Structure 1
Amino acid sequence: MLSDRKNLVIKSKSYHKGFNTRISYDYIIKKIKNRFFLPQFLRTIKKFGISAFSGGNKVTLITDGDLFFDELFKTVDSARHSINLETYIFNSDDIGWKLA
């Protein structure tokens, strides 16, 4: 899925100072495979009142916008009961209205 691992860019912004950070795919995979990463992450989201994960789910990292929306609409169309989705749409365009 990630044919070009160098294209993964995570942009972060601090209110005190702005910065962009380029993070390699290998670095992210290393963090995910780290046995201490997930428990720490779960503790962090619990502090913010975010509900825990449920079983039977999967995560796919998508770095291409067109592929993201193709997968998103396919997933929405195949839902059997409900969908919990949090996303931000910045432009009032066809894709945003299609998702709404």
Structure 2
Amino acid sequence: MGNSKAEKSLLPERAVVGQRIIVEGLAVSVMSGLESIIFKRGTEPGMQNEFIRGRAKDISIQIPNMPGTVEVTGRYAACSAVRPEDQLQGTIEIVEA
């Protein structure tokens, strides 16, 4: 469902607590089956975060209060057409406002 390298780099390298970021691409499109976003820092339990769909191929995510290096992954419907290697995943460095 697209170039894997491009799909995996949808997230910014750095974001500020409370900031809204826009994520665009096939991995987050209206037809992707994306259900929620999970933020996980180290060994702490992950935190589910909702998103707002702006257009057919983008979403808006509010950055949670989790300063540090955070792993971000998308949770998809079981019938998603997006291959696992193309799903939303990456790391963001979150800094305090």
* TM-score grouping bracket, smaller chain normalisation: under 0.3
Larger RCO of the pair (alpha carbons < 8 Å, separation 6+): 2
More helix by share: 1
Normalised by the length of structure 2, the TM-score is 0.21
